[in-house]
Amino acid sequence: MTGPERRAPDPVVTRTRTATKGKPPLPMTQRWAVTIPGTHAHVIATDLASGSVIVGDGWAVALAARRLHRLDAATGAETASVRTRHQSVAGLRVQDSHLWAATDSRLFRLRLEELEVVQDWERGLVRYASQIEVADERVVLANWLSPSVAILDTASGRLRRVRVGSQPVLFQHGGRVRVISGLAGGMQTLDPARACLVDPTPTPPICSVGVGRDLWGVVGGGRRDTSSGKQRPVQRRSSQVPAG
């Protein structure tokens, strides 16, 4: 007995886009401005459905005073806040009526409206997780430096790790969690339930991804200098990668 035939990955289509000289800037009007504590490294997320802007305090704030804030997107007024337990916020993800927040070593699940903590985890997570993807009852965490991602089963508390390559870029497209190695390139689909990678597809090294009908990425990585053996940065450009 055999399962359904797996469709081969679509070929990579790379298109380079350069800045358009002489194009007038789009008119922009400032609606409001709010000062958030901290000198820099503020992490921000937005949610259109609830009209929310979520932002964490930046660096140079006393550890005991660090907070996560929910602002009204229309007015900038603060509607809720919560202390982050002596740690800075590294990553945020809004999923339905909940907010997922990763700090130095913890992961919080909060009710979005009042920022009330529903669950929290601390043991064995990827530290400083700046990327969070939610797939049903599982949460996938990654940072820019670790070559592995962590998959947390929120129902059982089980944590598994999958090696995905240097400088991973994590995102969802078509209901599936994808990952690209920012240094070496190559896109794969992550199966959170089985904790494995499937459907490998060659791509350039990608350091940032925009998700739409297609996937648009900023090319990163580097070329190896044959004389010194060191990686040299490449000029960043926009490339289209397969959306299948």
85: CATH: 2.40.10.480
The closest alpha carbon to 162, from 184, 182, 181, 175, belongs to: 181
Condensed to tens digits (0 to 9), the pLDDT of residues 95-123 reads 999 999 999 999 999 999 999 999 999 98
- Is residue 24 situated within a structural domain? no
* Domain region containing 72: 38-121
pLDDT tens for 200-222 read 999 989 888 999 888 888 887 65
Tell whether the model's pLDDT for residue 234 goes beyond 50: no
The region that residue 65 occupies, defined by phi over 0 for left and psi between -120 and 50 for alpha, beta otherwise, is alpha
- In order of 78, 182, 207, 219, the CA distances from 226 in angstroms are 54, 21, 23, 21
pTM score of the predicted model: 0.81
Indicate the residue among 78, 104, 121 that finishes a domain: 121
pLDDT tens profile 3-50: 555 555 555 565 666 656 666 777 888 999 999 999 999 999 999 999
One domain, residues 225 and 173:
yes
Same domain, 66 and 153: no
Most confident of 13-27, 181-195, 229-243: 181-195
Q: What is the pLDDT of residue 1?
A: 46
Q: What is the mean pLDDT of residues 225-239?
A: 48
Domain count, the chain: 2
Using the predicted structure, report yes or no on whether residue 237 has a pLDDT greater than 50.
Answer: no
Residue 238 falls inside a structural domain? yes
In tens, the pLDDT along 62-78 reads 999 999 999 999 999 99
pLDDT score recorded for residue 113: 95
